[in-house]
Chains A and B, each alone.
Chain A
């Protein structure tokens, strides 16, 4: 018992080595925990579950490139050129005071820009959501510790113990 007590004291003082922390964790994972140490068990259970929390890997969808024949390609290039000239003509004809409209989403995947705004939007939103999930998940152990702290309310424990003593006394009289 003294050995574990010493290790716990070092642990809570932040002075324990990695090997000593492992010994404590092994002890609390085992079934021979002394009654006086039971109070620490939930705390180390959290630390153990924390060890298992891993940031999920981010899988990046690969945009499929369509194979197009050289004729189709030439037509597309020609049409794009015509469209660009037409657009420029329209642009020059309208007022210069109009504000420039930047795209709301920009996605550049491995050096290639995603031109389709809808795809860029979908992809960006997915990535931001995934990142939020990782951030949320990383703070889960902190929330669990806060819950434990809440449950280890001294007043509540004393009240429950008093109640138990009262119950025992009542049953003993009978």
Chain B
């Protein structure tokens, strides 16, 4: 019974979350976490649109990879892509400038929850992985 519970908990854990857990204390990265609403800009975003749904930011996390070697950059981006695919995030936008700069956004909606992931890579060897979670309520 306990084993089943452990297995089901592990299976339900998100790959993107695992990625943050894996690298948050890695010395090649900077990890940033912010809980909930803090300023007016966030408050303005709370009421989203005329569809009368409200979205409240639960938290946001960021992993910043600083000028690592190209091979590790590639491996990390591949891990990110794989995690997003496994977690069934939808790629909503992709902007590419030149060879090295890329900005991609991903979205995932589930009952009462909205998650946004942004991946930024630039020519300076920096990679930013940002993950925001919101609770969505119909008013």
A interface list, Cβ under 8 A from B: 50-51, 53-58, 60, 102-111, 123-125, 127-128, 131, 134-135, 138-139, 141
Q: Are B97 and A51 in contact (CB under 8 A)?
A: yes
Known A105-B34, A108-B29, A109-B30; further 16 A-B contacts with Cβ < 8 A: A51-B97, A51-B98, A54-B122, A58-B128, A104-B38, A106-B31, A106-B32, A107-B31, A108-B25, A124-B34, A127-B32, A128-B34, A128-B62, A131-B62, A131-B128, A134-B122
Chain B binding surface SS class: strand
Question: In the bound complex, what is the Cα–Cα distance between A138 and B96 (angstroms)?
Answer: 8
Q: Are B126 and A58 in contact (CB under 8 A)?
A: yes
Q: Are B97 and A131 in contact (CB under 8 A)?
A: no
Instruction: Verify if B112 is at the interface (C-beta below 8 Å from A).
Output: no
Distance in Å: Cβ of A144 to nearest Cβ of chain B: 13
Q: Which of B29, B30, B101 contacts A54 (CB 8 A)?
A: B101
A-contact 0/1 string along B11-24, CB 8 Å cutoff? 00000000000001
Distance in Å: Cβ of B49 to nearest Cβ of chain A: 19
Chain A binding surface SS class: mixed
Given contacts A53-B97, A54-B98, contact A135 B34 (CB under 8 A): no
Instruction: Verify if B123 is at the interface (C-beta below 8 Å from A).
Output: yes
Question: In the bound complex, what is the Cα–Cα distance between A108 and B105 (angstroms)?
Answer: 24
Instruction: Verify if B27 is at the interface (C-beta below 8 Å from A).
Output: yes
Given contacts A54-B123, A58-B64, A131-B130, contact A107 B103 (CB under 8 A): no
Question: In the bound complex, what is the Cα–Cα distance between A45 and B35 (angstroms)?
Answer: 42
Chain B CB count within 10 A is highest, among A58, A102, A127, for A58
Question: In the bound complex, what is the Cα–Cα distance between A107 and B62 (angstroms)?
Answer: 9
9 tightest A-B CB contacts, nearest first: A111-B27, A57-B124, A55-B122, A106-B33, A138-B103, A108-B31, A138-B95, A110-B27, A124-B32
Instruction: Verify if B137 is at the interface (C-beta below 8 Å from A).
Output: no
Chain A residues in 8 Å Cβ range of B28:
110
A-B contacts, 9 of them at CB < 8 A, read: A55-B121, A57-B124, A60-B64, A102-B35, A105-B33, A106-B32, A106-B33, A111-B27, A131-B118
Distance in Å: Cβ of A11 to nearest Cβ of chain B: 17
Question: In the bound complex, what is the Cα–Cα distance between A102 and B33 (angstroms)?
Answer: 11
Q: Are A107 and B122 in contact (CB under 8 A)?
A: no
Q: Are A55 and B101 in contact (CB under 8 A)?
A: yes
